[in-house]
């Protein structure tokens, strides 16, 4: 199958107060992908900051929705409509997962939202849960913590090294995914 463009979405919340928080790991990974492949994410379209470029010879659009996490699907839906892209073959979403240890990575081809409101909104807007995703572990919420406070909190110094390593792995994983080597990526990183 020939794919015209891959839409690579990192989930997060806009605004300085959310930079480097657990919930913004998707933004952090997309920024790292952009640096590695010399893609500028400066254009504001489709309720998102976007950048266009190439990875492994494939045309990509890097996306950082500016709708806030819980409405991420609005931006993703608009972009897929505009580029006439199919979620099952052309969409890759990168986001935080509290059920994984900090720094671990999990690649999936489909699945439920697993309680993640950004993914829940994307599934709702697209009408499908079949799209590639790269989940980055941010650690389980400590007992007694409010979930929103936890995911909007910052990483400890000890966690930052693991998180940076996970983002570096996500950059590598994207290269596999745009070459249609999803199974190989899952075997290698999961």
| Angle subtended by helix axes 182-189 and 157-178, to nearest 10 | 150
What φ, ψ does residue 47 adopt, rounded to 5°? 60, 35
Which one, of 93, 117, 120, lies nearest residue 9 by Cα? 93
Decide if 25 contacts 64 (C-beta within 8 A). Answer: no
Cα of 179 vs its chain's centroid, Å:
18
- Residue 23 is a catalytic residue: yes
Alpha carbons within 13 A on the beta-carbon side of 68: 3
Catalytic site residue from 23, 46, 116, 154: 23
How far, in whole angstroms, is CA 68 from its chain's centroid?
14
Its sign, for the CA torsion 163, 50, 124, 147, is: positive
Return the active site residues. 23
């Amino acid at each position: 199958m020939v794919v015209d463009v891959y839409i690579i979405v990192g989930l997060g919340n806009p605004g300085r107060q959310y930079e480097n928080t657990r919930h913004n790991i998707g933004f952090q990974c997309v920024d790292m992908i952009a640096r590695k492949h010399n893609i500028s994410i400066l254009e504001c379209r489709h309720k998102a900051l976007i950048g266009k470029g190439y990875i492994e010879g494939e045309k990509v659009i890097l996306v950082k929705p500016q709708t806030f996490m819980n409405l991420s699907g609005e931006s993703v839906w608009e972009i897929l409509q505009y580029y006439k892209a199919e979620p099952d073959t052309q969409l890759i979403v990168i986001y935080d997962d509290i059920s994984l240890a900090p720094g671990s990575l999990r690649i999936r081809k489909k699945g439920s939202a697993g309680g993640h409101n950004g993914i829940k909104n994307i599934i709702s807007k697209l009408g499908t849960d079949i799209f590639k995703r790269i989940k980055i572990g941010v650690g389980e919420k400590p007992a007694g913590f409010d979930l929103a406070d936890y995911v909007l909190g910052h990483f400890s110094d000890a966690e930052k090294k693991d998180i940076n390593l996970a983002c570096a792995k996500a950059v590598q994983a994207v290269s596999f995914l745009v070459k249609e080597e999803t199974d190989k990526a899952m075997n290698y990183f999961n």
